[in-house]
């Protein structure tokens, strides 16, 4: 009986030593960061739209990125209906939290997988850029908001130790939009883009 109790006691002592806690990030923590401009091209209201914006983030152990991004429509895309003063075009902007996983960032060319989760809005604008603005709540141009989730796959080339260029394909999932300017379906869709990354990787 003593031998059995002794064996059980040894097991209880040994199990914590054998079992190690598993974590997503282990060992010494290495930090980096980056920022840079982004250009995207996609379909909005059945027309080709060009988005320009930027993103940046904290790089953890050369593998994970936690950051923010924001993008806005720069060319003329017709709204689905005319505005209160006969405006024909729409403004669009969105942004949010961006998470990215990079399995082999040390490779000259490598893939990464990311997702944006955030919100955006649409409003009317006139033909001239001078006539557009993001409105306040009391304006006739009050923006209609939406939720967006945008997964993306990137292929990145390491140009230098501090500059990298990524080409990616993403898909916008837009929900919650109630507007005469556009619909969830008309704003959802594929995009292709370029990201210019400057920083410590």
Hunting for tokens 């001239």 — which residue is that?
A: 128
In a domain? residue 3: no
pLDDT at 143: 85
Q: Calculate the dihedral angle through the C-alpha atoms of 56, 61, 66, 68, rounding to the nearest 10 degrees.
A: 0
Q: Give pLDDT tens digits for 153-197.
A: 999 999 999 999 999 999 999 999 999 999 999 999 999 999 999
* Overall average pLDDT of the 11-37 stretch: 71
In a domain? residue 6: no
pLDDT at 2: 45
H or E stretch covering 136: none
CA distance linking residue 118 with residue 68, whole number of Å = 9
In a domain? residue 16: no
Q: Which of 173, 192, 164, 148 is nearest to 57 (CA)?
A: 164
pLDDT-derived band at 5 (thresholds 50, 70, 90) equals very low
In a domain? residue 2: no
pLDDT at 19: 55
In a domain? residue 9: no
Question: In the predicted model, what is the mean pLDDT of the chain?
Answer: 87
Cβ distance 112 to 156 under 8 Å? Answer: yes
Residue 64 has pLDDT above 50, yes or no: yes
In a domain? residue 159: yes
Domain count, the chain: 1
**Containing domain of residue 83, as a range?**
25-200
Residue 16 has pLDDT above 90, yes or no: no
CA distance linking residue 87 with residue 126, whole number of Å = 5
The CATH number that applies at residue 165 is 2.40.160.20
In a domain? residue 180: yes
pLDDT at 84: 85
In a domain? residue 148: yes
Residue 123 has pLDDT above 70, yes or no: yes
Residue 9 has pLDDT above 90, yes or no: no
Q: What are the DSSP calls for 40-94, one per residue?
A: EEEEETTEEEEEEEEEEEEEETTTEEEEEEEEEE-S--B-SS--TT---EEEEEE
Looking at per-residue pLDDT, the higher value among 53 and 15 belongs to: 53
CA distance linking residue 135 with residue 70, whole number of Å = 18
Q: Are strands 163-175 and 89-101 parallel, antiparallel or unpaired?
A: unpaired
Q: Give pLDDT tens digits for 124-150.
A: 987 665 555 555 554 556 789 999 999
């Amino acid at each position: 009986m003593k031998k059995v109790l002794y064996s059980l006691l040894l097991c209880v002592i040994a199990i914590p030593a054998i079992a190690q806690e598993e974590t997503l990030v282990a060992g010494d923590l290495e930090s980096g960061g980056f920022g840079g401009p982004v250009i995207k091209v996609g379909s909005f209201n059945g027309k080709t739209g060009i988005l320009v914006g930027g993103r940046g983030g904290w790089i953890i152990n050369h593998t994970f990125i936690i950051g923010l991004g924001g993008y806005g429509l720069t060319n003329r895309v017709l709204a689905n209906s005319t505005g209160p003063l006969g405006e024909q075009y729409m403004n669009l902007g969105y942004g949010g939290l961006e998470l990215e996983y990079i399995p082999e960032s040390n490779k000259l060319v490598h893939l990464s997988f990311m997702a944006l989760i955030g919100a955006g809005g649409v409003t009317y604008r006139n033909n001239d850029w001078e006539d557009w603005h993001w409105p306040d709540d009391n304006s006739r141009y009050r923006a209609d908001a939406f939720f967006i989730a945008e997964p993306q796959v990137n292929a990145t080339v390491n140009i230098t130790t501090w500059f990298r260029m990524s080409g990616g394909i993403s898909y916008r999932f837009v929900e919650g939009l109630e507007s005469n300017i556009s619909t969830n379906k008309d704003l959802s869709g594929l995009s292709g883009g370029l990201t210019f990354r400057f920083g410590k990787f």
